[in-house]
Every structure is written in C-alpha cells, then in structure tokens.
Structure 1
Amino acid sequence: MAAEVKSTEFSGQVALIVGGAGGLGRESARLLASRGSHVVIADINESALLATAGDLADAGSVSTAVLDVTDTGAVESAVQSVVADHGRLDILVTSQGFPQDGRLTDMTDEQWHNVVNVCLTGTFNCIRAAARPMIKQEYGRIITFASRAWHGNPGQANYSAAKAGVVGLTRSVAKELGRYSITANAIAPGLIDTESLRQLPTYDSIAERAVKANSIRRLGLPEDVAAMVGYLASPAAGFLTGEVVHVSGGRFS
C-alpha cells in the first residue's frame, strides 16, 4: 500500500501551541505538524510535554518548551526563542486552562485567581508576546480557546468569567491587529471526550447529560476541535476575525 502523502498547506510556517500537552492542544499540534508547520508545543507539565512530543514524532516537525503562562518574562523569552530558532511565528494557539469549580459563596480567592491567571491573564501574556513578531512580518493567526462556559455556568463563576474575558480579549485583538493581516478568533468547545474528562469519577453522568443536551447526539472529540484550529490557521480564513466558533454539537448555553 502506498505511503500516505502529507499535506504541505502550512509548509514554512511556525506554530506555537500553549497547553500543547493536553488533549485539545495535542491534537491541534498533530494536525498542524502533519500539514507542514513546525510546531512548538509549550506546557508547564514537563513529563506530559515529553510524552506528547513522543506521541507526535511521526506527525511532523515538533519541538517543546516548558512554560508557565502566568510568568510574563518566561512567555516573552519563549516567543523570542521561537523566533530566534525558526525565524518567524505564524500561528499562536492558546489551549491552556482548567476549571476549579465551586459555588459562588464557597469559592476561595485561590480558586478564583488560579483559574483567571492561567485562562485569561496567561492568554493575554501569550498574545502580547506573539503579536510583536507577527506585526513585524505583517501576518499571523491567533486562535484562543474559550469554552461554551463563557455564556455562564453555575458553579463556575471563575472559569466562566475567565473564558468570557478570553472572548472579549480576542475580539479586541482582532480589531487592533487586523491592519497587519493578523486574525484573532476564539474556539468555544462544548464537552469534549478527553483523557482528563474520562478520569473524572462522574464521567458517565456528565457525558450522558451532555449528549442529551447536544443537537448532535455524541460527545465532541479532540479531532473536532483540531479541525477548526486547522481552518482558522489557514490562509482560507484570512477574512474571518473576531469570531467565536462554537464546536459544541449544537449546545450553546
């Protein structure tokens, strides 16, 4: 049987995927690498990062960077290193983040700040750093990860606020940077069948409720989200900016 011919759609481009060791970041990295981009996957979890790099070895050209997105200096250095090593930065994907759920009156300051600092401030840090080389080259694709939760979820005041902030940030960036042929769009996934979701003791009940609420009666897959990353990162999406794309099987609120 003939070997599979890989796409060269992103040949010569460089992508930085933050949160790249997680399920959504990993599949996004796999897609972009398989289509010709050199992909730098960055994550705070070094062991998971190395495992992901091994998993992606056959996908294409991939390198790694250990990164804490809440550390402004570290983010600036990481972006500068990407540009120094590869000459450019074309695509930024910010897929980092996590929930720490709790009822409003029980939520601690720590729970609030942990989630907002990583999901929102970390996204700002990454976009600000990546915008500089993108402006110089007058080209870029910025893809942020919001969540269906940006509409508001009970027990997720911190996560919902952070993701709503990501939407506002992304739209502001789109208006500011469009003159440089830089687009900025947010993806808002619904419930996606990732490894971390399957590890929850309540997985079965959560999945059942989500499937019933979806118009498309299944859970989302990481590949569903990665496919949208691939489109938004492509030249074909050059006139699409400031949008929030729900990859949620028809469940919006």
Structure 2
Amino acid sequence: MDRFTGRVAVVTGAAQGIGAATACRLAGEGATVAVLDLDLDRTAETVAAIRAAGGTADGYAVDVADAGSVSAAVDAVAGAYGRIDVLVNDAGVTRDNLVHKLSEDDWDTVLSVNLKGAYLVSRAVQQQMVPAGYGRIVSLSSTSALGNRGQANYAAAKAGIQGLTATLAIELGRYGITANAVAPGYVATAMTAATAQRVGMDPAEHQRLAAEQIPVRRVGRPEDVAAAIAFLASEEAGYVSGQTLYVNGGLR
C-alpha cells in the first residue's frame, strides 16, 4: 500500500519500540518521516532502517517537555519538507512506584514527557496543519489509563492523553484535522522489560505469564500497534476522530 505517498509524518519517541515501528510502517507506505527523539544519535538506527528499505527519513532532536525545543524541531521539519500531514505522539517515560513511595520529581517527569509533551507537539504541529486544511494526530495512551498498580503518574498521564485527544478532535475537526489515541496493552518493548525487572522478574517469563491472561494468548508487538496507528493516520480514517482504540489482544 502507498497510503502516505506525498505525506510528511512526524513521529516522536521514534528511536525504539512502538515509535520506531510506527516510523518504519509509515515510511513503508510512502511517507517522508521525521524521526524525533531526545538525542539525535538515538534516531540514527530508525533512520537507517527506513533508508535501507528504500524510504525517506531524517532524524531530529527534541525535548518534548520543552516548548522552545518543540518549536525549533517542528519549524525545522516544516522548513525541510514544506508541510506536516501526520503527527504521532509516542514519546514517553515511566517512573514506577507505589503512590506512597512516588516522588514529586517522578510524578512531574512522567506528566511532563507523556502528557505535556503531547500537548506541546500537537500545538506546534497544528499550526502547520490548519492552513493546509488537513491533518492526522495520533497519540499514545495505554490500558494503564484505566489504573495500574505502581503507575499512578503514568496512569494519570495516559488518561490525560484521552481527554486531550477528545478536545483536539472537537477544536480542530473544522480544519480537516482528526485526532485519535491508541491505547496498547502489554507490548514487548524495552519499557515493559524494565517493568519486569523492576518487580524482580525475567522479561521473557513476565511476557509468558502475561500472555496466559490475554485472550489471543500472546503479548503485543510494536508492529501490532503501528498497524492501528497507520490506519488512524490515513485518509481512510477521515470520519474517525476523538476516539481511543484499545490494542490489547481482547483483555478486559
């Protein structure tokens, strides 16, 4: 498929995991992809993978929690390509702990990167989308938005993503811009491996036990989530907006 031929996509947190898989998926379908992450060196692997597959991508450094950094990165992308059609807000961090042990710094860090970051990048990118009369914004929420032990900060941020998404859809719909969220369940990434290690488990065993509770009997892959994001970012999803799609193998 070439659903994104002629389109320019910005993917934050694209150095690894779901962000990297999404950048590769969009590029594979014809998009020119701006690969954004905190450090420019971290973007190199994703950019190289896209180029090796015949796609077009460049890396950009951005601190999504800093308004100045966001503005500079978005201006650089728009200046290089002349447009921004798709934004995927994937940048995120975890600082897990039970609420009585959770430090204020860890609360602030997670809310700043996961939620404020999505707001700042969406705010900057919509300035490019509104005059064009077209745009797709897809942000990463999580099943943790429904509550998860040891993740009060992360759960709050991911629940906030859903509220932000619904509001962006209301405000930007008249300009041809849709906004949706994807809420993954258990996906095998470096982040979930770190969670396993935090509770003293081998990541492979952690995945095996998780899979036993999931109706499709496996944990998710970054590519599973990337496929859902690609649909919501496509022209085909033009009448889908303000929604949160749970990608979790049927777990309830």
TM-score, normalised to structure 2, is 0.94
Identify the match of residue 148 of structure 2 among 153, 164, 169.
Answer: 153
**8 Å contact from structure 2 (residues 24, 46) kept in 1:** no
For residues 10 and 156 of structure 1, what CA distance do their matches in structure 2 show? 36
Give, in angstroms, the shift of residue 198 of structure 1.
4.0
- 1:40–1:63 contact (8 Å) kept in structure 2: yes
Q: Tell me the SS of whatever aligns to 1:82.
A: helix
Distance (Å, rounded) in 1 between the aligned partners of 2:155 and 2:206: 18
2:24 and 2:49 in contact (8 A); partners too: no
Matched with 2:206 is: 206
Secondary structure of the 1:153 match is: coil
Query: Is this contact kept in 1: 2:11–2:23, CA < 8 A?
Result: yes
Q: Corresponding residue for 2:228? A: 228
- Kept in 1, the 8 Å contact 2:28–2:50? The answer is no
Residue 219 of structure 1 aligns to a residue whose secondary structure is: coil
Given that 1:100 and 1:115 are in contact with CA atoms closer than 8 Å, whether structure 2 keeps it comes out as: yes
* 5+ long unaligned stretches in structure 2: none
Structure 1: state its 5+ residue gaps: 1-6
Give yes or no for contact 2:144–2:155 (8 Å, CA) kept in 1.
yes
Distance 2:206 2:171 in 1: 39
**Deviation at residue 147 of structure 1 after TM alignment:** 0.5
What SS class does the counterpart of residue 104 from structure 1 fall into?
A: coil
Determine whether 1:30 maps to 2:13: no
Determine the structure 1 residue equivalent to 2:64.
69
Q: Cα deviation per residue 1:48-98 (whole Å; 9 max; x = unaligned)?
A: 211222222223000010110011011112111111111110000011112
In the TM superposition, structure 1's runs of 4+ consecutive aligned residues that sit over 6 Å from their partners are none
Q: Which amino acid aligns with 2:178?
A: T
- The letter for the 2-side match of 1:149 is S
Residues 21 and 45, structure 1, Cα contact 8 Å, conserved in 2: no
Asked if the contact 2:136–2:233 (Cα under 8 Å) also holds between the matched residues in 1, the reply is yes
* TM-score (normalizing by structure 1): 0.94
Deviation at 1:196, TM superposition (A): 4.3
Deviations 1:17-53 (A, max 9, x none): 0001021011111111111110000000333211222
SS at match of 1:17: strand
1:12 aligns with 2:44: no
User: Could you tell me which amino acid in structure 2 is paired with residue 36 of structure 1?
Assistant: G
Does 2:99 correspond to 1:99? no
For residue 179 of structure 1, what is the amino acid of its counterpart?
R
SS at match of 2:36: strand
Q: For residues 44 and 22 of structure 2, what CA distance do their matches in structure 1 show?
A: 16
Alignment partner for residue 116 of structure 1, among 93, 111, 114?
111
1:193 corresponds, among 188, 192, 202, to 188
Q: Percent identity between the aligned chains?
A: 38
State the distance in 2 between where 1:89 and 1:172 align. 20
Residues 135-146 of structure 1 mapped to structure 2, 5 A cutoff: 135-146=130-141
Q: Aligned with 1:124: secondary structure?
A: helix
> How much has 1:214 moved relative to structure 2?
1.1
Conserved? CA contact 2:40–2:59, under 8 Å: no
Structure 1: distance between partners of 2:210 and 2:168:
32
Aligned partner of 2:77 in structure 1 is 82
